[in-house]
Amino acid sequence: MNTVLDTVVIGGGAMGSAAAWALSRRGRQVTLLEQFGPGHKIGASHGATRNLNPGYHQPDYVAMLAEGLALWDELEQETGEQLLARTGVVTHGPGGDLPKVFDALTAAGIRAEFLAPAEAGERWRGIRFDQQVLHMPDGGQLNPEAALPAFQRLASARGADIRHHTKVVDFQVFDDGVRLTLESAAGTEVVTAAQAVVTAGGWTEKLLGGASFGSAADEDGTLRIPRLRVTQEQPAHFRVADTGAVWPGFNHYPGPDYQGWYSPVYGMQTPGEGIKAGWHGVGPVVDPDHRDFLPEPKQLAALQEYARQWLPGVDADSFDAISCTYTTTPDEDFILDRIGPVVIGAGFSGHGFKFTPVIGRILADLATGTRPAPEIFRASR
């Protein structure tokens, strides 16, 4: 049996769920396909906290921040749930282009202020500061465990078909649509659709690499997109040692010679689990279907040493290691583009979650032909 559909979204993580939500708001027929079950921990969209860090100065990202803050508020009102805890976010250290960030945010009406290290240390004594600190009060922590089901519930209420445990095992692209072979507990099914939105995270290259794009791609039918590097990132939740400390979200640029490599550190408080801290984008490259979920020993030891030096409010010897994936482009800008009947949302490079509802809107724009994405996100860049 060949089922004919309008728009298929492949991948039910954050971006696919947001795309289904945005498309359903426009009255489009949407089918969302997710190969794993609800709330799975195999990709990049699980866990109870993600920083909404406003620390950008590039115009396209700042515009998306302003839109995103409004959309998260709208989602909270529509669902009646808290999705964003506005604890504020602080960024410190010698990197990060903080004066540029301050200027860009204040020009866009997003609050930002510089604090001396001593003042910051009085406010947030769980963190050690040694250089000027940029405080962004409009930032905070988003809750993926609440947000993803919310996007899917809202989409389903508007008619979207949400299918978990449904894997795309064959993907064929034609000038006028796509044909997918699906496997689920019900068996094998072939569907055709006018278009597909691919939001498959770490599985993007596996999915697209096996498809021929015909006249929509190069002369040999090969799709050319920026290389996607999938890494297993290994943050940890450290036990709180100072129960009286107040915790904002934080980002730290400790310097190019810190611990022998250069990586920013991000962190936040996860209620009931401790203080989450991790390196950014330096985990080992992995196949998303073959992961051990175990921390790399040297990086874990370095993270513990970081906590001893810079997070006096935690016990660096008491922690739970956690694991997720990054799918990163060479320039760390996203891929948001349409090629023939296929819309691609990929390469969120460890900093995409805060933009989830905006990315859903952009993907819906691409799928409906409303308007293109910003130039920096083009696949052909």
| pLDDT tens-digit map of 225-284 | 899 999 999 999 999 999 999 999 999 998 876 776 668 999 999 999 999 999 999 999
300 φ, ψ (degrees, to nearest 5):
-65, -45
User: 170 and 38 share a domain?
Assistant: yes
User: 95 and 168 share a domain?
Assistant: no
Structural domains of the chain, count: 2
Beta bridge partners of 163: 33
User: 236 and 357 share a domain?
Assistant: no
What is residue 27's DSSP assignment? T
User: 168 and 122 share a domain?
Assistant: no
Residue 353 lies in a domain: yes
From 320, 321, 307, 377, select the one nearest 349 (Cα to Cα).
377
User: 316 and 173 share a domain?
Assistant: no
Q: In this structure, which long-range contacts are made by residues 205-208, counting pairs with CB atoms below 8 Å and at least 24 apart in sequence? A: 206/288, 206/289, 207/10, 207/168, 207/171, 208/171, 208/342, 208/344
> Helices 144-157 and 356-368: crossing angle, nearest 10°?
30
Residue 122 lies in a domain: yes
User: 164 and 301 share a domain?
Assistant: no
Across residues 313-327, what is the average pLDDT?
97
User: Which ranges constitute the DSSP H helices of 80-163?
Assistant: 98-107, 117-123, 144-157
Residue 60 lies in a domain: no
* CATH at residue 286: 3.30.9.10
User: 342 and 316 share a domain?
Assistant: no
> Which residue in the block uniquely carries the two structure tokens 């107040």?
246
Residue 233 lies in a domain: yes
User: What is the identity of the amino acid at 335?
Assistant: I
Residue 57 lies in a domain: no
Residue 219 lies in a domain: yes
User: 194 and 245 share a domain?
Assistant: no
Q: In this structure, which long-range contacts are made by residues 62-68, counting pairs with CB atoms below 8 Å and at least 24 apart in sequence? A: 62/104, 62/105, 62/108, 62/110, 63/108, 64/355, 64/358, 65/105, 65/108, 65/110, 65/354, 65/355, 66/108, 66/109, 66/110, 67/358, 67/361, 68/354, 68/355, 68/356, 68/357, 68/358
Domain of residue 320: give its range: 87-140+229-328
| pLDDT tens-digit map of 77-104 | 999 999 999 999 999 998 889 999 999 9
User: 175 and 200 share a domain?
Assistant: yes
CA atoms within a 13 Å half-sphere pointing along the CA-CB vector of 237 = 13
User: 356 and 321 share a domain?
Assistant: no
* Other CB atoms within 10 A of residue 174 CB: 15
* CATH at residue 201: 3.50.50.60
User: 277 and 196 share a domain?
Assistant: no
From 83, 111, 108, 70, select the one nearest 358 (Cα to Cα).
70
Across residues 370-377, what is the average pLDDT?
96
What per-residue confidence (pLDDT) applies to 108?
97
User: 155 and 192 share a domain?
Assistant: yes
| pLDDT tens-digit map of 134-177 | 999 999 999 999 999 999 999 999 999 999 999 999 999 998 99
| pLDDT tens-digit map of 330-345 | 999 999 999 999 999 9
Confirm if 53 and 139 have CB atoms less than 8 A apart.
yes
Report the predicted TM-score, pTM, of the whole model to 2 decimal places: 0.96
Question: Could you give the CA distance from residue 110 to residue 108 in angstroms, rounded to a whole number?
Answer: 6
Question: Could you give the CA distance from residue 124 to residue 88 in angstroms, rounded to a whole number?
Answer: 11
Residue 355 has which token pair? 């933009």
